[in-house]
Amino acid sequence: MSFTVAIDGPAAAGKGTISRAVADHFGFAHLDTGLLYRAVGARMLDGTDPAEAAETLTQETLARGDLRTPEVAQAASKVAAMPEVRAALVDFQRAFAARAGGAVLDGRDIGTVICPEAAAKLFVTASDTVRAERRYRELADKGVETTFDEVLADTRERDTRDSARAAAPLRPAEDAVVLDTSQMSIEEAVAAAIGAIEAARKGQGR
């Protein structure tokens, strides 16, 4: 029987790290849905129509080595605001969520649009300055030349676009557990997420 965990939140809040740790802890499959939009965004930068890119998404595209670059991140945020792109990717995500053995999906609209009936929902967030600092350190570790102010401006621009878009705007589901990681270590955040999911599993008698 399937048990779906929906984990949403803005960029660099820690939802990816938490989602992977949660999936490992419970033995669930994990899908970073943001990677789907990054792949579409990357193909858009290559000149492909976004809707066509979404409809013809392949594992090869998902394995591209440039999907974590700032340019692709911005492109992903832009294509994610396109209803035709979101519609093309919905079935893929819902099929993954329904797999036997349990699934963890992280993104921006999992608990509100993709899997509104998910057994456990978390909304992972942090202040924009904390998230920008995390992203800045990550880029510096990869040798990407930028400044904190540029990363902060980029973070705020993405937040505005993701929250204001007409198609599936970024927001917590009404029944989501909100997890603010601003002052948390990775270990503390993962423990809090596991605790919330354990409570949901007990509530379903699992």
- Asked whether residue 189 is marked as a ligand-binding residue, the answer is no
CB 200 within 8 A of CB 119: yes
- Asked whether residue 15 is marked as a ligand-binding residue, the answer is yes
- Asked whether residue 11 is marked as a ligand-binding residue, the answer is yes
Token output for 157: 């621009």
Helix then strand then coil, in percent of the chain rounded to 5, is 55, 10, 35
- Asked whether residue 34 is marked as a ligand-binding residue, the answer is no
DSSP state of 178: E
pTM of structure: 0.87
**In this predicted model, what pLDDT tens digit does every residue of 139-153 receive, in sequence order?**
899 898 999 999 999
**In this predicted model, what pLDDT tens digit does every residue of 65-104 receive, in sequence order?**
999 888 998 899 899 889 999 999 998 899 999 999 999 9
CA 187 to chain centroid, in Å, comes to 19
CA 124 to chain centroid, in Å, comes to 10
End-to-end CA separation in angstroms for the chain: 11
- CA–CA distance, 132 with 137 (Å, rounded to integer): 9
- Asked whether residue 9 is marked as a ligand-binding residue, the answer is yes
- CA–CA distance, 47 with 28 (Å, rounded to integer): 36
- CA–CA distance, 61 with 53 (Å, rounded to integer): 10
Question: Where are the chain's structural domains?
Answer: 4-203
CATH assignment, 4-203: 3.40.50.300
* pLDDT tens sequence for the chain (206 residues): 689 999 999 989 999 999 999 999 999 999 999 899 999 999 999 999 999 999 999 888 889 999 988 899 889 989 988 999 999 999 889 999 999 999 999 999 999 999 999 999 999 999 999 999 999 999 899 898 999 999 999 999 989 988 988 888 899 999 999 999 999 999 999 999 999 999 999 877 66
Biggest alpha carbon distance in the chain? 50
- Asked whether residue 12 is marked as a ligand-binding residue, the answer is yes
